[in-house]
Amino acid sequence: MEIDTLLRSLPDKVRQAFIYRQLDHLSYKDIAERLSVSVSSVEKYVAKALQVCMAGINQD
Protein backbone atom coordinates (compact mmCIF):
# COMPACT_ATOMS: atom_id res chain seq x y z
CA MET A 1 0.00 0.00 0.00
CA GLU A 2 1.28 3.49 -0.78
CA ILE A 3 2.23 5.86 2.01
CA ASP A 4 -0.14 8.54 0.66
CA THR A 5 -3.07 6.17 0.99
CA LEU A 6 -2.03 5.15 4.48
CA LEU A 7 -1.64 8.76 5.59
CA ARG A 8 -5.05 9.71 4.18
CA SER A 9 -6.60 6.97 6.32
CA LEU A 10 -5.35 8.59 9.53
CA PRO A 11 -7.31 11.10 11.63
CA ASP A 12 -6.38 14.70 10.75
CA LYS A 13 -4.31 15.48 13.85
CA VAL A 14 -2.42 12.19 13.63
CA ARG A 15 -1.59 12.83 9.97
CA GLN A 16 -0.62 16.45 10.62
CA ALA A 17 1.61 15.53 13.56
CA PHE A 18 3.36 12.89 11.47
CA ILE A 19 3.94 15.27 8.57
CA TYR A 20 5.16 18.07 10.83
CA ARG A 21 7.60 15.67 12.47
CA GLN A 22 8.86 13.72 9.47
CA LEU A 23 8.79 16.31 6.70
CA ASP A 24 9.06 19.63 8.52
CA HIS A 25 11.30 18.30 11.33
CA LEU A 26 9.41 20.21 14.01
CA SER A 27 9.88 19.40 17.68
CA TYR A 28 7.09 17.70 19.59
CA LYS A 29 6.60 20.94 21.52
CA ASP A 30 6.19 22.99 18.33
CA ILE A 31 3.77 20.45 16.89
CA ALA A 32 1.77 20.45 20.12
CA GLU A 33 1.46 24.23 19.95
CA ARG A 34 0.34 24.15 16.31
CA LEU A 35 -2.26 21.46 16.95
CA SER A 36 -3.34 22.82 20.36
CA VAL A 37 -2.70 19.50 22.08
CA SER A 38 -0.24 18.22 24.68
CA VAL A 39 3.25 17.00 23.86
CA SER A 40 2.14 13.58 25.09
CA SER A 41 -0.65 13.56 22.51
CA VAL A 42 1.80 14.44 19.76
CA GLU A 43 4.06 11.57 20.80
CA LYS A 44 1.09 9.20 20.63
CA TYR A 45 -0.04 10.59 17.26
CA VAL A 46 3.39 10.15 15.69
CA ALA A 47 3.74 6.64 17.11
CA LYS A 48 0.29 5.72 15.78
CA ALA A 49 1.11 7.05 12.32
CA LEU A 50 4.38 5.12 12.24
CA GLN A 51 2.58 1.98 13.37
CA VAL A 52 -0.04 2.31 10.62
CA CYS A 53 2.58 3.00 7.96
CA MET A 54 4.73 0.04 9.00
CA ALA A 55 1.72 -2.29 9.11
CA GLY A 56 0.63 -1.12 5.66
CA ILE A 57 4.08 -1.56 4.18
CA ASN A 58 4.42 -5.03 5.69
CA GLN A 59 1.11 -6.12 4.13
CA ASP A 60 2.54 -5.86 0.63
Q: What is the pLDDT of residues 16-60, one digit of tens each?
A: 999 999 999 999 999 999 999 999 999 999 999 999 988 887 775
Q: What is the CATH number of the domain that holds 49?
A: 1.10.10.10
CB 18 within 8 A of CB 7: yes
* Domain region containing 22: 3-59
A 10 A CB-CB count for 7 gives 18
The pTM of this model reads 0.87
Residue 12 pLDDT greater than 90, yes or no: yes
- Rounded Cα distance, 19 and 9, in Å: 14
Residues in the chain, overall count: 60
Structurally, the chain folds into a number of domains equal to: 1
- Comparing CA positions, the residue from 28, 53, 22, 24 lying closest to residue 41 is 28
